[in-house]
Structure 1
């Protein structure tokens, strides 16, 4: 209660990101392929819409 999260600078975020990538690769046995899309929200929305339209069929 009443706790404040620590500051998360770019270096910390890069470290956490790299760790998640390492864990993903270890757990799945697959190489992580990051997304360099300029509009990640748009890409996600398109993917969800495509999935939903397939489920209706």
Structure 2
């Protein structure tokens, strides 16, 4: 049996220090560089605690 799964991505989100907008991500994708490391973290307070831990 072969199954075919189709899906569409309606919206995407990503986070990295210094890349805040879609334009930032598109510019980075054209000329990717290693981003500086730091202890910054996205605000995920809108997620339930259990989901935050799993993500």
- State the TM-score, normalizing by the size of structure 1: 0.24
Larger gyration radius, structure 1 or structure 2: 1
Q: Which has the higher contact order (CA 8 A, sep 6+)?
A: 2
